[in-house]
Chains A and B, each alone.
Chain A
């Protein structure tokens, strides 16, 4: 790069040669992103590639033996291990219960709380409070509340004459309990997203519809709901992905039980990997989870792009 100072009668060649501004900017930019990028490569991309290779090994930490087995782990999961389909079923039930309940409640609360009125700040704060609370604390308290006879929930039910079930000891009730307590924990987030979306809808639309004689329900059905559609789609995908990632909640409330009734994918991966040390099999499960979540995310990004156009 150096330009020798051969032209002695011209000062302009005495200048210290340096990078062109454009290249300098590029070097600086890479320096700026380098911390994140380095960490990302080491703790994220590397492990992601590694998990793919692990998934093709039979590797048990206890016996310290590893062998390449190709797609055996996947075949194992998909066709031989009955647990896997049980887990898939549970995960789908969990999602199918959680997502509609969460979204319906979030939207209802958002509609009620999107306009200022006395107490609106209080209610928003209340419905959002569980979001900032640790999932561990939340699960512990609900586990306490949902005990069979000593639990506050059943004691309150007894007051009104209902004999409540042993919530966390019966598979179906346990699933229901986990879903509902998870919804209460997370619904505030979707509520906030819905409120934000509702507040961007100009009131003119609603007022125009009202002048034309539309009822509240008609206004919602024919004006608000269609305008919320992009938000609804995004919330749906985010919530679905979130439902597949639930781990701590299950771990602490039910431990996947009873009778594996709440054994969902994230928990199953943890159990296989860190309890039974089936590294290969757990990695295959992780890859399956990765693909599911990736597909959902790509769908979300596509929806979002369409929404932006």
Chain B
């Protein structure tokens, strides 16, 4: 079992099989596009973001995290009518941050995952807001209560998504 050493603590590093690496993000993007039409409340969730956080914290490699984030984000961008890169940049930052933090923190417990997801959801929204408003010129409204509540909702869903990811991840 490969072990990485960080600040004197031993942290396990996981990997995902190639089918899981390809199919899980695709399924997440597909469900994100399909479910809000049938269940309107689902638009509050960001399933691809949860997959980015889940992959990044499990792999604990900043390079893999930022690349996963950018690919999933660009895929998500391609389905919208906005310029490609809005979600790409936001999820690149989240992927890098989550994997970097995953090295330093124990993210195996549900409570830690819950808080981590809220934090990175807000980071994602802040980056998206800044780029959409500053670079693309979209009119956007920022509401802290809305973002926080969405973050909590995503964190609750995230706990279950991470449990599913735990079943397919493999020790290196």
Q: A and B bound?
A: no
